[in-house]
Amino acid sequence: MIDVTIVVNGDTRRASVPPETTLLKLLRENFSLTGAKLGCDVGDCGACTVIVDGMAVNSCLMLAGQANGRSVTTIEGLATRERLHPIQKAFEDTGALQCGFCGPGAIMATKALFDEHSDPNVKDIRDALSGSLCRCTGYTKMIEAVQEAARVLRSESRTKLTDART
Ligand code: FES
Ligand code: FES
């Protein structure tokens, strides 16, 4: 067994797991964070996407031990009790998801994109979502959702800037 300590959504979490345990398994089975989904388990579908130290990763391909000492954000870390994250709201409002299975991964891939680009173009968005396979949608609504979320986030950050100056 190996001991791992990870900051997950701002909380320090510890577990003792077999060395072959993936980050996805650790999150789902040890920490009861079931938002990241087990789809293909081989890095093809993106349903398991989380953010590790600022980068979107397929958590089925990362060992829990490789995440030791690092900071992980999962879909559970986005919303507050009062409010969905603007990315989640935009996906909901535009009808970007149908069965929803790919949603957590696509939304986390979008979050990682916004952490780098506040105003991504369509190519940036397509690239960011390229690892997220969706069997239900044609991706058009998903791209619209990302564009809408980007607009909302830019507007919120302009408002914050104005408030800070007054
Ligand atoms: Fe990880 Fe499919 S479950 S990429
Ligand atoms: Fe069903 Fe994407 S909404 S897999």
139 lines ligand 2 (CB under 6 A): no
Q: Which pLDDT value is given to residue 32?
A: 98
Q: What is the DSSP letter of 98?
A: S
**CA-closest residue to ligand 2 atom 1:** 99
Residue among 143, 137, 129, 127 nearest 100 (CA): 137
CATH architecture of 2-77: Roll (3.10)
Strands 11-17 and 2-8: antiparallel
In the chain, ranges of CATH 1.10.150.120 domains: 86-165
**CA-closest residue to ligand 2 atom 4:** 134
CATH architecture of 86-165: Orthogonal Bundle (1.10)
Q: Which pLDDT value is given to residue 165?
A: 74
pTM: 0.94
131 lines ligand 1 (CB under 6 A): no
77-80 CB contacts, 8 Å cutoff, 24+ apart: 77/8, 77/9, 77/10, 78/107, 78/111
Mean pLDDT of the chain: 95
In the chain, ranges of CATH 3.10.20.30 domains: 2-77
134 lines ligand 2 (CB under 6 A): yes
